């Protein structure tokens, strides 16, 4: 199945064309509560800003009086600067992080209900991510991991196929020392994007990794020859697949058995749809899929009061595109059985 028509396929338990009119009606009370929250925040913000202005002006006036009586001109500047700092701190404490609070409520109340409408029974946890043990098990990234975080965790199934996924941002810390002996550190991204764990419904004896073929794409014939020095390299008969991916496996026979011509075409479809840097691992009856993304998914950026539907439609589209991977790879067709 090509990526272009994957959204047209129906699956039990997944609503590929959500009824947005019904969703609007169901979510109307939630939208009303969110609008009231925004209005309440605006009123509070205006009140707090006036209080901050009063604090700053009051301290500045106090500094002016002290300057006039004690003949200390510098006190006016100190009082003015101190007033501004105190006013900023006061405002931050009173107003808190409204954006984070509002975003959390929206995800918990709106996105969770949309998820249930699209895929009943699917778990959605905004502040959770795929466990680090899965990420390390996939073997696609050999770098040290010093910081592991993510959000927007989903777990459920499309028809018979179980899957879980989330956004991830994985980093390592690097230190360097300049010629003067000054030490500095920086965070380097190991992986940022969408990470999926899908049931392949087949117990694997070995591990097979399908990675971006950087060497052949950059160095052509020479890169291909250099790859031959790797003892675990698997060569396949599809020229386009060979140019796109480098396959390494601990079991050559099993790798060729799993990567049938049809599966190779499906993986190429995934690459066309999701980008050239998508990577896969087959291990322990699971398929791990890493999709690099620099943009933040499942968010409500640009949301304005009264325009909830575009936000919901974007969320639904993003969720459906990931659920459709099960169909793109034809994982509901049970060719094998688990031992």
pLDDT at 5: 42
> In angstroms, rounded to a whole number, what is the distance separating the alpha carbons of residues 226 and 90?
63
3-state SS, residue 204: coil
Which H or E element spans position 56? helix 20-70
Q: Kindly state the average pLDDT of the residues 6-34.
A: 74
Pick the closest to residue 125 from 112, 141, 140 (CA basis): 112
Mean pLDDT of 301-320: 79
Q: Is pLDDT above 80 for 96?
A: no
pLDDT in tens, 231-248: 589 888 889 999 899 999
Task: Spell out the residues 6+ positions from residue 57 whose beta carbon is closer than 8 angstroms to its own.
Answer: 83
In the chain, the percentage of residues whose pLDDT exceeds 90 is 42
71 pLDDT above the threshold of 80: no
State whether residue 274 is helix, strand or coil.
helix
Least trusted range by pLDDT, from 76-85, 175-184, 223-232 = 223-232
215: pLDDT strictly greater than 90? no
* Number of neighbouring beta carbons within 10 Å of residue 70: 9
* pLDDT > 70? residue 130: yes
| 73 CB neighbour count, 10 Å cutoff | 10
Flag whether pLDDT at 222 surpasses 50: no
> Do residues 208 and 258 make contact, with C-beta atoms less than 8 angstroms apart?
yes
pLDDT > 50? residue 219: no
- Tell me which of 37-41, 124-128, 150-154 is least confident: 37-41
Q: Is a pLDDT exceeding 70 seen at residue 291?
A: yes
Cβ partners under 8 Å of residue 215, min gap 6: 223, 224, 226, 227, 246
Per-residue model confidence as pLDDT tens digits over 247-261: 999 999 999 989 999
pLDDT at 171: 96
Q: What pLDDT does residue 184 have?
A: 85
Residue 339 predicted with pLDDT over 80: no
Rg (CA), the chain: 27
pLDDT of 63 reads 67
pLDDT of residue 79: 61
pTM over 0.85: no
| pLDDT mean over 176-185 | 81
């Amino acid at each position: 199945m090509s990526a272009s028509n994957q959204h047209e396929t129906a699956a039990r338990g997944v609503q590929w064309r959500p009824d947005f009119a019904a969703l609007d009606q169901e979510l109307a009370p939630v939208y009303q509560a969110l609008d009231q929250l925004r209005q309440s925040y605006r009123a509070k913000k205006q009140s707090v800003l006036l209080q901050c202005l009063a604090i700053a002006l009051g301290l500045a006036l106090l500094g002016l009086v002290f300057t006039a009586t004690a003949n200390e001109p510098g006190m006016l500047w100190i009082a003015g600067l101190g007033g501004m700092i105190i006013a900023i701190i006061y405002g931050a404490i009173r107003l808190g992080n409204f954006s984070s609070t509002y975003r959390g409520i929206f995800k918990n109340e709106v996105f969770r209900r949309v998820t249930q409408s699209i895929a009943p029974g699917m778990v959605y946890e905004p502040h959770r991510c795929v466990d680090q043990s899965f990420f390390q098990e996939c073997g696609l990234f050999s770098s040290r991991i010093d910081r592991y975080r993510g959000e927007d965790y989903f777990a459920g199934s499309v028809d018979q196929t179980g899957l879980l996924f989330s956004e991830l941002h994985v980093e390592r810390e690097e230190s360097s020392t300049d010629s003067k002996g000054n030490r500095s550190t920086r965070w380097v991204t190991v992986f940022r994007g969408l990470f999926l764990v899908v049931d392949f419904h087949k117990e694997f004896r070995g591990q097979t990794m399908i990675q971006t073929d950087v060497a052949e794409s950059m160095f052509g014939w020479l890169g291909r020859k250099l790859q031959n020095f790797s003892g675990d390299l698997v060569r396949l008969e599809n020229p386009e697949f060979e140019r796109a991916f480098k396959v390494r496996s601990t079991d050559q026979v099993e790798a060729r058995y799993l990567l049938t011509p049809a599966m190779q075409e499906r993986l190429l479809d995934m690459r066309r749809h999701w980008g050239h840097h998508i990577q896969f691992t087959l291990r322990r009856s699971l398929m791990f899929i890493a999709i690099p993304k620099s943009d933040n998914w499942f968010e409500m950026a640009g949301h304005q009061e009264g325009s909830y539907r575009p936000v919901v439609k974007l969320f639904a589209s993003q969720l459906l595109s990931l659920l459709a991977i099960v169909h793109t790879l034809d994982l509901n067709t049970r060719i094998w059985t688990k031992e």
